[in-house]
Chains A and B, each alone.
Chain A
Amino acid sequence: MMTCWQTSRLLSEALDRDLSAEEREEVRRHLAVCGACTRCRGQFEELRRALRRMATA
């Protein structure tokens, strides 16, 4: 099982490249049991939405 440290790095990379099937599965298994990393993923996505909002709103 990946650690939160490893997972957070892959969550960031997932926004810039397609993860491999194996990486996606590792992330999925970790997020299924980790609320902190699930919140981290939501925050990374919120940052992306906010930056795109700056360009339009």
Chain B
Amino acid sequence: MMGARLEPHDLRTEIARYRGDLLRIASLQLRDRHLAEDVVQETMLSALAAADSYAGRARVKTWLVGILKHKVIDALRARSRGPRTLTDLGAEVGTDDLDALFDDSGLWRVRPREWEDPTQAVRQRDFDRVLETCLRKLPGLSAQVFVLRELFEVSAEEVCGLAGVTRNHLNVLLYRARMSLRGCLDLNWVTEGGAA
């Protein structure tokens, strides 16, 4: 719904309609189903309480995701234990497996495929479905910082603070996420030509 002035009852219905979408987004970021449920519940309550002030300028979903973003950030702050140690970060900030995607001369071992432009609605839904499966396969911290950065559009500096990582580690985590996702889509998103 864009621009339309919604009656309070209609807005409540709209808010309820997006619960599933909000839960998917919160779960992708928090990687904790229970915490995601709590955060979405708080988001819906805040939205209902603020329904009178919803001016209808933004799409309902965009407005809700804006509220969810703040609730997710609050949850991350509440959970943070200060800077992470290398043990916490585990293998995710190591680069051996990422470096191995290239040969000794620094050339791609498997060259990226040409992606069909996924602007056609059906193709786009297919792309988004595969992408979500690929996102769930990412290591936890890489997925968390990637969703903060790309979906919630949090600045790199703020992501470092929220995740308790240095800028260099963030660069590796985001690189890991992007390289893993592009590789996963290269393998699993079947283009119309049929080649996978």
Query: Which residues does A use to contact B, with CB under 8 Å?
Result: 3-6, 8-9, 12-13, 15-17, 35-37, 39-40, 42-44, 46-48, 50-57
Contact = CB atoms under 8 A, between A and B. Distances in A.
A52 B171 contact: no
Contacts of B124: 53
Given A4-B102, A47-B131, A52 B112 contact: no
A12 B172 CA distance: 9
Contacts of B115: 39, 42-43, 46
Interface of A, secondary structure class, is helix
A47 B111 CA distance: 17
A39 B61 CA distance: 31
Interface residues on B, range: 35 or more
B54 interface: no
Contacts of A12: 171, 174-175, 178-179
A4 to B, nearest CB: 5
Contacts of A52: 150-151, 153
Given A40-B182, A51-B151, A56 B65 contact: yes
Contact of A46 (B21, B118, B149, B170): B118
Contacts of B73: none
B171 A13 contact: yes
Contacts of B153: 52
Interface in B129-182: 131, 146-147, 149-153, 156, 170-171, 174-175, 178-179, 181-182
Interface in B20-58: 21, 24-25
Given A12-B174, A39-B115, A55-B65, A17 B156 contact: yes
Q: Which of A44, A46, A47, A51 has the most CB of B within 10 A?
A: A51
A3 B106 CA distance: 5
A16 B114 contact: no
Interface string B57-80: 001011001000000000000000
Contacts of A17: 156
A50 B128 contact: yes
